[in-house]
């Protein structure tokens, strides 16, 4: 039996973390004339892994079976090690995320839609995914007006048990006890994820006549809009825990707006959330 050197084994294990479609996508970028560095920077995949795929594109079953252990699949299930990043990613997923099964594999794709107007949000989303599943690949799929930050992993449904058939507003959305414990420990990260996905920070203005003179006043407020009453409830319950005052701004036929406009509450939101960028 030939014993592999440590660095060879490490490279092989890294290369085995990605499904075949991800490998083909990276190699297709190379075929377009892109440099190895460029493809690595765009996809978040190491150059060593991409280089290995040029020789063998199919993953080794033995390595794939042992790769990327899931904290929820252990004999004693636990939570992700980076709980703060998970809390933020949970907010992003509940707002603008989805999970879909690979059509020819055992894994799943996590996709978070991020508008092109917010490059900082795209980067923060990538960082959170890498923190929650360090060995899984992350890459961007460009669409019209937005980027789908995408990651393939066998265990995304384990980490986001809210995954299910149909749209989120048409089914029950409730946190598991271990998820609620994370949100309780990291409420601002969860709120930030929800605001970054389905919320915004805007500046309103109004005019008042004082002493016969018309004056213009500007004030900041935050909005969160969603069609799921369950997700709205998770958002407002978490606001209550951090002493942020809120109110329902309006009730549309489908979506509902939650507004944060009181000065002290806006100051808290500015301290922990801030505008998208």
Least confident of 2-6, 108-112, 177-181: 2-6
The greatest distance separating any two alpha carbons of the chain, rounded to the nearest whole angstrom, comes to 93
Can you give the pLDDT at residue 158? Answer: 93
Can you give the pLDDT at residue 17? Answer: 58
Mean pLDDT over 112-126 rounds to: 95
Q: For the chain, what is the mean pLDDT?
A: 85
Least confident of 6-10, 55-59, 87-91, 204-208: 6-10
Q: Is a pLDDT exceeding 90 seen at residue 116?
A: yes
Tokens 């996709």 sit at which residue?
111
Mean pLDDT over 189-200 rounds to: 97
Q: Is a pLDDT exceeding 80 seen at residue 206?
A: no
State what percent of residues in the chain have pLDDT above 70: 84
Q: Is the dihedral of CA 265, 270, 271, 276 positive or negative?
A: positive
Q: What is the pLDDT of residues 58-98, one digit of tens each?
A: 554 444 444 567 888 877 888 999 999 999 999 999 999 99
Q: What phi and psi values does residue 216 have, to the nearest 5 degrees?
A: -105, 135
Tokens 């048409």 sit at which residue?
170
Q: Is a pLDDT exceeding 80 seen at residue 138?
A: yes
The per-residue DSSP string of 112-173 comes to EEEETT-HHHHHHHHHHHHHHSTTS-EEEEEETTEEEEEEEETTHHHH-TT--SS-GGGS--
CA distance 50 to 40: 8
User: Is the CATH code 3.10.28.10 the one for domain 192-272?
Assistant: yes
- Other Cβ atoms less than 10 A from the Cβ of 42: the count is 14
Residues listed for the chain: 277
What are the structural domain ranges in the chain?
1-67, 192-272
Mean pLDDT over 115-127 rounds to: 95
The Cα-based distances of 268 to 124, 154, 257, 264 in angstroms read 21, 38, 19, 6
With beta carbons less than 8 A apart as the criterion, state whether 47 and 13 touch.
no
């Amino acid at each position: 039996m030939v014993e592999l050197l440590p660095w060879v084994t490490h490279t092989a294990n890294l290369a085995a973390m990605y499904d075949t479609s991800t490998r083909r996508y990276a190699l297709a970028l190379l075929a377009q004339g892109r440099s190895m560095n460029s493809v690595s920077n765009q996809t978040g995949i190491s150059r060593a892994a991409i280089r290995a795929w040029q020789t063998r594109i199919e993953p080794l079953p033995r390595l794939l079976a042992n790769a990327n252990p899931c904290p929820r699949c252990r004999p004693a299930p636990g939570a992700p090690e980076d709980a703060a990043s998970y809390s933020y990613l949970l907010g992003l997923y509940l707002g603008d995320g989805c999970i879909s099964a690979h059509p020819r594999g055992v894994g799943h794709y996590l996709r978070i839609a991020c508008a092109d107007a917010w490059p900082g949000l795209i980067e923060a989303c990538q960082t959170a995914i890498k923190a929650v599943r360090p060995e899984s690949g992350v890459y961007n799929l460009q669409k019209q007006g937005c980027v789908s930050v995408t990651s393939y992993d066998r265990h995304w449904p384990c980490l986001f048990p809210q995954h299910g058939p149909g749209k989120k507003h048409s089914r029950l959305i409730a946190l598991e006890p271990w998820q609620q414990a994370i949100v309780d420990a990291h409420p601002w990260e969860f709120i930030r994820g929800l605001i970054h996905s389905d919320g915004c920070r805007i500046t309103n203005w109004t005019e008042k006549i004082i002493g016969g003179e018309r004056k213009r006043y500007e004030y900041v407020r935050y909005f969160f809009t969603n069609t799921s009453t369950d997700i709205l409830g998770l958002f407002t319950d978490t606001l209550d825990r951090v002493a942020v005052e809120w109110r329902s701004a309006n009730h549309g036929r489908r979506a509902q707006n939650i507004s944060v406009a009181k000065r002290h509450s806006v100051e808290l939101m500015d301290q922990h959330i801030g505008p998208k960028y």
